[in-house]
Amino acid sequence: MAAEVEQCTVRHREAQQLQKDSGWDIVRVALSSTVRLWIMTAVVGRSVANELVAALDFWNRAIEVVTWGLTAWKDVPPEKRGRMFSGTFLVGLKNLRLERLLMVHSQYPEHAPLNHIHDAACELVELTDQLEEPTNTEPGVVLSFFVYPKAHASAALGLYYRDLAEVYERSDAKRAVLPQVGSCVQEGCLIIPQRRRIPLL
């Protein structure tokens, strides 16, 4: 963990120094290229244990850099810092990471513990709730970055509670957890019908 924190600190320091030395045009292209390379590497990995786990690391790296940039350069206009540093881009990253976590958990659960799924899903729900939903935009944008990710996260929480119930040996512990399975899944299902006001045509 300490090594990962140190790597993040080094990346941040190098990005800030590059911006000071070379300007926004250079640092924007450098960071955008790096993050998109990580994304492509994560996406094209084969469905074998070592590559699935490695893909999670690339998703985490991309999320960490975008999250940092949104904070460090929050007062910089988007056209300068880059469109990559936006709340909707971060939603997309976290949604894809959650999808990969669920895939790894189904095949190699030791590499994607339940608490990781819980934390990733809660982060996604919190982020979609924090973002201000645009009013004058394409319906596809609202569905892709607000509605579907939150529904996906709610369903993932349902899976978390279902698998958690299977871990408990005591019946009273199971009974305490199982209602949350239905609650999360129902919430995920209801998110989309509640948005029928969005014109799709």
d(CA 44, CA 51): 9
The reported pLDDT for the residue numbered 192 is 78
Between the CA of residue 107 and those of 60, 96, 112, what are the distances in Å?
20, 17, 9
Average pLDDT over residues 179-192: 88
The reported pLDDT for the residue numbered 48 is 63
Binning pLDDT at 50, 70 and 90, where does residue 2 land?
very low
> Residues 123-136, buried b or exposed e (16+ Cβ, 10 A)?
bbbebbeeeeeeee
Please identify which residue in the block is written with the tokens 């959650």. Answer: 98
* pLDDT tens-digit map of 115-164: 999 999 999 999 999 998 877 778 888 889 999 999 999 999 999 999 99
The reported pLDDT for the residue numbered 49 is 64
> Which of 171, 161, 131, 128 is CA-nearest to residue 147?
128
Domain ranges of the chain: 1-85, 86-193
d(CA 89, CA 66): 8
Binning pLDDT at 50, 70 and 90, where does residue 195 land?
very low
The reported pLDDT for the residue numbered 65 is 94
User: DSSP assignment of 148-175, as one string?
Assistant: HHHHHHHHHHHHHHHHHHHH--SHHHHH
Is pLDDT above 60 for 1?
Answer: no
Task: Give helix 114-130 / helix 87-107 axis angle, nearest 10°.
Answer: 160
R_g of the chain computed on alpha carbons: 19
Q: What is the DSSP letter of 133?
A: P
* pLDDT tens-digit map of 20-64: 999 999 999 999 999 999 999 988 876 666 788 888 999 999 999
Is pLDDT above 70 for 199?
Answer: no
The reported pLDDT for the residue numbered 47 is 61
